[in-house]
Amino acid sequence: MHILIYAIIATAVVSLGAVFGYFLSSYVKNIIPIMLPIAASGFIYIAASDLVPELHKKPKISKAMYSFIFFLVGIGLMWLVKFLFGG
């Protein structure tokens, strides 16, 4: 039951943060190019820190290369979207 309460509280805080960020975004347009890479690097760190322990469990080079190639494909897709839609 406690987990449900914590989940509801977390959802409420995230929702309030989203609304706050939406209204604040019109005032901080100059800082968005600075904050966006910081946020993206945080998500990349989270993804990589979750991926690396999985690679250490099964030390097969093919699985590591497979993951690395898709990691590079993801970076390439992010670059392509930036190049095509707002550069």
Contact between 65 and 74 under an 8 Å Cβ cutoff? The reply is no
Overall domain count for the chain: 2
Distance CA 85, CA 81 (A): 6
Digit-coded pLDDT (tens) for 66-87: 777 887 888 888 888 888 887 6
Looking at residue 13, what is its pLDDT?
Answer: 92
Residues 11 and 37 in one domain: no
Same domain, 17 and 35: no
pLDDT at 59: 65
Segment 13-59, tens digit of pLDDT: 989 988 988 888 778 778 777 777 878 877 877 777 776 666 666 66
Q: Residue 16's pLDDT is what?
A: 93
Q: Clarify whether residues 24 and 57 are in a common domain.
A: no
Both 15 and 38 in one domain: the answer is no
pTM greater than 0.85 (yes/no) = no
Domain span at 17: 1-30
| Two structure tokens written together for 42 | 């945080």
